[in-house]
Amino acid sequence: MRQQTHAVPAVRIDLSNAEQVKKTRTILADYGLNTICDSGSCPNIHECYGSLTATFMVMGDVCTRGCRFCGVKKGLPRKLNDSEPEMVAGAVRELNLAHVVITSVTRDDLDDCGVSHFVETIKKVRELNPGTVIEVLIPDFGGDEGLIETLMQARPDVIGHNLETTAKLHHLIRPEASYSRSLKVLAQVKKSNPEICVKSGIMLGLGENENDVIEVMMDLKEVKCDIITLGQYLRPTGKQVEVKRYVAQEEYESYRITAERMGIPLIAAGTYVRSSYKANEYYKQFIKKRKC
């Protein structure tokens, strides 16, 4: 497959859902909550907010790491807000979410990297919203197996941890992270609970080639990842690394076919695909496939 550079399609904003967007923003503001949608400059924000959904970002809006693709603020975070887990649970109820995604900044400054805060958030959300599917998109927690096991004991329905980019580019794009460590996190999650849905993804357009992407898919299959997402890297601001190329939809389709042939349960691939985008829809598809 010959890689080509294409212009990225413009984001279409549906103005008919402006009231829904306003309602979502109001609820988030009332509870004083952060979202990766806003902090990460997600191109799908208007669509998701217009559907009364959002990906909550707990433990503040300042990250202790400096990944070179990410638009989230970097620096020394503030003290944790102990009331945040309850606030997230309340917002989930008010938004009437059937499926919630909860992510966080990385908190290497904390003794437990914030795992206990994640666990408390899961607990509060489940208490107030017993029918809601809980998906967490986690940092690597320093690769600490004990911390990951503590999170597992909270029994979220889905655990996602993104590789973000290929093995070849990892040291350039995520200098404070580790490709192999992230794979070990995913492997531990699946080994600890084979029934849990495990999810990961990467961005394209950072300088990878076709073989690099296929290598990622093979690695994720090896650790028994259930859902893989491939989407276009879009530079949040002038401070992040530049886009090397815009990937054509035909290339995404080729990766999807390859992943299916490899036996990967579910892959979502496209320009605006993100790890939390249409999370409920993809989870339902995965559950349906698993039952077949």
Give the mean model confidence (pLDDT) for residues 134-153.
Answer: 97
> What is the reported pLDDT for 179?
97
| Better-scored residue on pLDDT, 1 or 205 | 205
Give the mean model confidence (pLDDT) for residues 84-91.
Answer: 97
For residue 62, give both structure tokens. 């300042």
Residue 119 CA to residue 84 CA, distance in Å, equals: 12
**Which of 175, 158, 170 has the alpha carbon at shortest distance from 106?**
175
> What is the reported pLDDT for 45?
78
- Whether residue 7 lies inside any domain: the answer is no
> Position 23: which residue type?
K
- Whether residue 161 lies inside any domain: the answer is yes
Give the mean model confidence (pLDDT) for residues 110-129.
Answer: 98
- Whether residue 165 lies inside any domain: the answer is yes
Mean pLDDT (the chain, rounded): 92
- Whether residue 9 lies inside any domain: the answer is no
Dihedrals φ, ψ of 221, to 5°?
Answer: -65, -40
- Whether residue 4 lies inside any domain: the answer is no
What are the CA-CA distances from residue 95 to residues 80, 178, 206, 243 (Å)? Answer: 24, 36, 35, 35
- The residue count of the chain comes to 292
Looking at the structure of the chain, the number of domains it has is 1
- Whether residue 232 lies inside any domain: the answer is yes
**Residues spanned by the domain of 246:** 15-291
How do residues 151-187 score in pLDDT, each as one tens digit? 999 999 999 999 999 999 999 999 999 999 999 999 9
- Whether residue 135 lies inside any domain: the answer is yes
Model pTM? 0.93
- Whether residue 5 lies inside any domain: the answer is no
- Residue 235: give its domain's CATH number: 3.20.20.70
